[in-house]
Structure 1
């Protein structure tokens, strides 16, 4: 039987096809690996970006918080002082009328009435006036380190701050205080304190700022 003249060339062709197919398969595998690596790298970058975004929390709103508490205290203190002064004036006028009535009724002997009763009332008023300023100076100082509209977000931020600033905040209380701002809604404020003095609170706030935190003083 005579062999075909094309038979010897068929084997090299098959070898070439196998060689090319193996190379194409290798290229495809490498391409898939590169694409997978790019996707993995992209996910890592996005996760890192999200962490950086979360690290920028808290969102602190410039609310005039520090003025609200003192104003209320001053108003209450002022009301109490004014009421005491008005009472003292009423007492004085009443006593003066009592002093003048005997004079009108031609009783000169009673013009110099005993001053024991007004002296007692004056002493009582002065004693109360001395107590009122003392309560005004017994202030508590706090640091606000966050203000968020959601209670869940505030709890999450509270845990993050306690972990990040463990050394600074371990000696002070860290709590969430709700504040109704009317049309703006209810905000959940993260407050640190109370501090024994304004200087101590400011020093702690300065140390927080050095470590990347944000805060301001309220009292």
Structure 2
């Protein structure tokens, strides 16, 4: 029986995938913050810090990710870290620039939550499939999936629960509930679709 090697992504493939993931994730964060919502993962921690202090989300998010790059470098490899750094930088830049050009006059919380989940889930899938992430807990989740087979989406959802518990100290219950819906949709997109036994390009 002939065993075919999995197809490899070209540099251009990786570049467009990382650009899509970083920018679209930034658009998802614009939806999130326009409604005053919170989210999970490292981005959720950065959002909470931004709400509490007034500091720029992009700057907080970039700095919060720095310690996780060490784990990524040691456990996954330098290529993954450089790709993740590019994605995080694009997200931080997008969240700083995009509000000058995009705003929402009408956005129902339910629609915003679902759209955030779908958009951000697709962005994270693109990053994962091109050997990248948005840093932080995403690095830990991918490491665990590669080593144990435990789905990255489920690891992230567990972390989300802790972040949302903290969010209740800064936001009202209704806002946190809508936010949690968005996180569930996002993690369902990742948990169902990100499977190494089905998507084998490298």
Structure (1 or 2) with the larger CA radius of gyration: 1
**Normalising to structure 1: TM-score of the pair?**
0.20
**Which structure carries more relative contact order (alpha carbon 8 Å, separation 6+)?**
2
Higher strand share: 1
